[in-house]
Amino acid sequence: MKAQFIYPLILASVASISVMPVAHADELSDWLKIDGFGTIGTYKGSSDVAGVRTDQRQRVVSFNDWRFDGDSQASIQATLNPHGKLKAVLQLISKKDINGSHKPTVEWAYVSYPVTSEFDFKIGRTVAPIFMMSDYRNLNYAQTMARPQTEIYQVNPITFQDGVTARWEKKVGSGMLQFEGFFGKTKVSVSGGDVDLSRVKGLSAKWGQDSWSVRAGYSWYDASVIAPTVEANIKTLISLPSVYCTNCASVIANQATRTGIDAKISTIGATFDNGEWIGQAEWSKRDTNSVVIGSVSGWNVMGGYRLGDFTPYAGFSSYNVDAKRTDLAAGVAAPVALKAQLNYLNQSYMGTGDPSRDAMTIGVRWDFARNLALKAQYERMKMKLPAVGASSGFQSYETSLLGKPNGFDGRVSMFTLNLDFVF
């Protein structure tokens, strides 16, 4: 059944529960549990030439204007047989996507069963357990900051996979040790194009004790990319005779494949929360064999302190493109304009841009009522190569490498005000 049909049915279930007699509601809760969460938010960029977005799975950006379609979302989750061993979970999220639609999408849809008290498995659409906050990546209320740090989560925008997940956990001493493995496939649409990922495989290990939690993971992907702008550039280059480009065909075949891309992602992170002090640090690296989905790495650190209902916090982070640039070479008959174009494509990884940057974040969370949190956050980003340009990810601005200055000095900021809630 399609999501647009399932979503109204679940909403109708919520409404019916609210008007049921108490006895009937209690009976219903034995086999159906409904939860929900969401965000009402607005954000604003600081530049007229460089746009910013809150999610790389969206196309819209803010050029020094207030927008209300960034973090804003409404989500609902239904758990069938919540108190039994065999459970079924359906989670729907309504959030503006790459096509500008708010149509609810299926984020989770799985059946789980504990084989033993220490081992269980899930079949269906489940979370991809990669990052520290993967399990609640879309649940902004459960996070101190307005959203997961973009310099880390741009490394891998995947939030779910369709397949099988198995988990083993055991109490060891005063801590809990957990191993998780997953296998399946998925698809993600970001501002630069669509990415199909087959044979998604991964392992993660997690250790939790008292105020500490540590997680490490490694995952493999076979990827194919549909990026219209990149594809148009590549088709033009392949058609050029050697007098215009001496090595375009060979460079593209060796460095800019769009199918059969081999991607490997390593992650490690830790969190600390003793009820008063909060700390978080994470590192991630992606290695690939194509500049179309390039090799990148990122890290972040964040600290906060609870003062009653208020939690001020600050963080630092960095994102770097580590891929080797292409070396397209102009031929003897190449005109000046083509030489400039080849230089741009070399520096921008075939037109995808170079969003390498450092960032600083400060903010405050206010838990002013039960299940409600108001967050104000300011992010300041310094792009490392502003002349190259960026066409995807969390920033978007023109290149200066084609002879027209973009007027961008590399510094851009974003202010966010979000109201998060759960029910």
Q: What is the CATH number of the domain that holds 346?
A: 2.40.160
Residue 263 buriedness (CB in 10 A; 0-12 / 13-18 / 19+): buried
Question: For 129-201, where are the alpha helices, taking DSSP H only?
Answer: 150-153
Where residue 26 falls among pLDDT bands split at 50, 70, 90? low
Q: What angle do CA 260, 264, 266 make, to 5 degrees?
A: 170
**What confidence tens digit (pLDDT) does each residue in 292-338 have?**
999 999 999 999 999 999 999 999 999 999 999 999 999 999 999 99
Q: Which residues pair with 378 in a beta bridge?
A: 362, 415
Q: Kindly report the backbone phi and psi dihedral angles of residue 105, in degrees, each rounded to the nearest multiple of 5, phi listed first.
A: -120, 155
Q: Kindly report the backbone phi and psi dihedral angles of residue 23, in degrees, each rounded to the nearest multiple of 5, phi listed first.
A: -60, -45
Give a yes or no: residue 16 inside a domain: no
Give a yes or no: residue 414 inside a domain: yes
Give a yes or no: residue 415 inside a domain: yes
Q: Flag whether pLDDT at 11 surpasses 70.
A: no
Give a yes or no: residue 334 inside a domain: yes
- Rounded to an integer, the average pLDDT of 40-68 is 95
Where residue 27 falls among pLDDT bands split at 50, 70, 90? low
Give a yes or no: residue 5 inside a domain: no
Query: Tell me, what's the pLDDT at 190?
Result: 83
Rounded to an integer, what distance in angstroms lies between the CA atom of residue 57 and that of residue 158? 10
Q: Kindly report the backbone phi and psi dihedral angles of residue 120, in degrees, each rounded to the nearest multiple of 5, phi listed first.
A: -140, 165
Query: Tell me, what's the pLDDT at 385?
Result: 97
Query: Tell me, what's the pLDDT at 414?
Result: 98
Say if CB 418 and CB 364 are below 8 A apart: no
Q: What would the two tokens of residue 212 be?
A: 């500490």
Give a yes or no: residue 166 inside a domain: yes
Q: Other C-beta atoms within 10 Å of 356: how many?
A: 20
**What confidence tens digit (pLDDT) does each residue in 401-418 have?**
999 999 999 999 999 999
Query: Tell me, what's the pLDDT at 371?
Result: 97
Task: Give the percent of the chain with pLDDT over 70.
Answer: 94
Query: Tell me, what's the pLDDT at 230?
Result: 85
Give the predicted TM-score (pTM) of the model. 0.89
- Rounded to an integer, the average pLDDT of 92-99 is 91
Domain range for 322: 42-69+128-422
**What confidence tens digit (pLDDT) does each residue in 102-149 have?**
899 999 999 999 999 999 999 999 998 888 888 888 999 999 999 999
Q: Any idea what DSSP says for residue 326?
A: P
**What confidence tens digit (pLDDT) does each residue in 160-215 have?**
999 999 999 999 999 999 999 999 999 988 877 889 998 899 999 999 999 999 99
Give a yes or no: residue 97 inside a domain: no
Count of domains forming the chain? 1
Mean per-residue pLDDT of the chain: 91
Query: Tell me, what's the pLDDT at 17?
Result: 36
Query: Tell me, what's the pLDDT at 159?
Result: 86
Which of 190, 36, 183, 201 is closest to 104 using CA atoms?
36
**What confidence tens digit (pLDDT) does each residue in 353-384 have?**
999 999 999 999 999 999 999 999 999 999 99
Q: How far is CA 340 from CA 5, 328, 331, 344, in A?
A: 51, 11, 13, 6
Give a yes or no: residue 208 inside a domain: yes
